[in-house]
Amino acid sequence: MIPVNSLVISGPCSAETREQVLETALGLSKVGIDYFRAGIWKPRTRPGEFEGIGDIGISWMCEVRETYGLKIATEVAKAEHVELALKNNFDMIWVGARSTVNPFTVQEIAESLQGTNIKVMVKNPVNPDLKLWIGAIERIWKAGITDVSAIHRGFSVYEKTRYRNDPNWQIPIDLKQELPGIPLICDPSHIGGRAHLLMPLAQKAMDLNYDGLMIESHVDPSQAWTDAKQQITPAELKELLNSLTIRNRAAIDEDAMLAFREQLTQTDESIIQLLKNRMRISEQIGEFKKDKNHVILQSNRWEEALRNNVLKASAEGISEEFVTQLFKLIHQDSIRIQSDILSKDDRD
């Protein structure tokens, strides 16, 4: 089923030729998308690669709107792009990940938007920096634009992973917390980087109650001039959308759910009490070490305790990564408590 109440933005990574743009749009017009996207000016990592078809692409996009009645959208990276998009009545523009990182660029875009009210979307910056993402959104708001959405397209990491860009779902979740009400769109294409990863990523976004999807599509993906591996045909997009499971968005307030929440609250309280007890013990150890003039950190002992805890937790079906992180945090705070006790002694 096509995600009801969800926005679907699709189209090629880049506008390449008039035929490619129009044929892709024809396919998408049968899918039922909300916005037709295409990059006209492309920010490429290295010089000498295809840097976008440029202004001629605008006329192809306008033709898409006239022929198929689709709303049109493109990426802007400077004032000149914004002016051209506005002059040609684009329905939406977005700020790309490489622009969001640069406050000068975002400011230039924001100033050129002053006095207009086009729909704007802001992709997350390439680096995992929530404040930079929020800052870019605020600059666009300050220019008087009211219809601003955020696009989650993943974050760069140096190591090779199965994703082109690490999803780091916590950052968009935190964004929603900081800016309640901001529509959040997922871009599985730039997160996954490969077509077979689109479906699980799109499903995860729907499960996390995202407000829409931006997915790149191309009439002939293998021949695409940019991002060939991650593009799918309009027919494949239709299949993907149809196979998404859309869960109930209404707030759950049935008795069973209230009972679960109460159990969670009580369990959280127990966790707090246990942490308090543990910290007390750390304080006592600190005092003891102070008396004996002993170093705080005993690495072997700590590593052994961590190993044992991870083993015990795994046997209980708790994720190894989670337990490791949790005990590292607890240990850090225990060290902090003991250092405080020792340094207090130094000052006396």
Residue 191 interacts with, from ligand PEP, Mn ion, none (CB under 5-8 Å by kind): none
**Residue 152 is a binding residue for ligand PEP (CB under 6 A):** no
Distance of CA 327 to the CA centre of its chain: 27
Single residue of 8, 13, 85, 213 touching ligand PEP by CB under 6 A: 13
State the binding string over 123-142 for ligand PEP (x if CB under 6 A, else -).
Answer: x-------------------
Nearest approach in angstroms of CB 38 to ligand PEP is 9
Which parts of 2-31 interact with Mn ion (CB under 5 A)?
13
Residue 96 interacts with, from Mn ion, ligand PEP, none (CB under 5-8 Å by kind): ligand PEP
**Residue 218 is a binding residue for ligand PEP (CB under 6 A):** no
Single residue of 164, 190, 218, 238 touching ligand PEP by CB under 6 A: 190
Nearest approach in angstroms of CB 216 to ligand PEP is 7
Q: 187 CB contacts (<8 Å, ≥6 apart)?
A: 123, 151, 152, 153, 154, 213, 214, 215
Give the integer Cα–Cα distance in Å for 308 and 312.
6
Neighbouring-strand partners of residue 10: 36, 215
- How many residues sit in the footprint of ligand PEP (CB under 6 A)? 9
Q: 308 CB contacts (<8 Å, ≥6 apart)?
A: none
- The angle, 0 to 180 degrees and rounded to 10, between the axes of the packed helices 320-347 and 255-292 is 40
Query: Whose Cβ is closer to ligand PEP: residue 204's or residue 331's?
Result: 204
Nearest approach in angstroms of CB 168 to ligand PEP is 14
Closest residue to ligand PEP, judged by C-beta, is: 96
Selection from 8, 9, 33, 11 nearest residue 22 by Cα:
11
**Residue 40 is a binding residue for ligand PEP (CB under 6 A):** no
Distances (CA, A) of 35 to 38, 58, 90, 97, 261: 10, 15, 10, 19, 39
Nearest approach in angstroms of CB 120 to ligand PEP is 14
27-35, 92-100, 247-255, 318-326 -> range binding ligand PEP (CB under 6 A): 92-100
Query: Whose Cβ is closer to ligand PEP: residue 122's or residue 145's?
Result: 122
Dihedral sign for Cα 190, 194, 200, 206, please: positive
Selection from 8, 90, 7 nearest residue 41 by Cα:
90
Residue 8 interacts with, from ligand PEP, Mn ion, none (CB under 5-8 Å by kind): none
Residue 97 interacts with, from ligand PEP, Mn ion, none (CB under 5-8 Å by kind): ligand PEP
Nearest approach in angstroms of CB 130 to ligand PEP is 16
Contact 166, 155 (CB under 8 A): yes
**Residue 227 is a binding residue for Mn ion (CB under 5 A):** yes
* H or E element that contains 11: strand 7-11
Look up residue 221 and give its DSSP letter.
G
Q: Residue numbers of the site for ligand PEP (CB under 6 A)?
A: 13, 39, 75, 96-98, 123, 153, 190
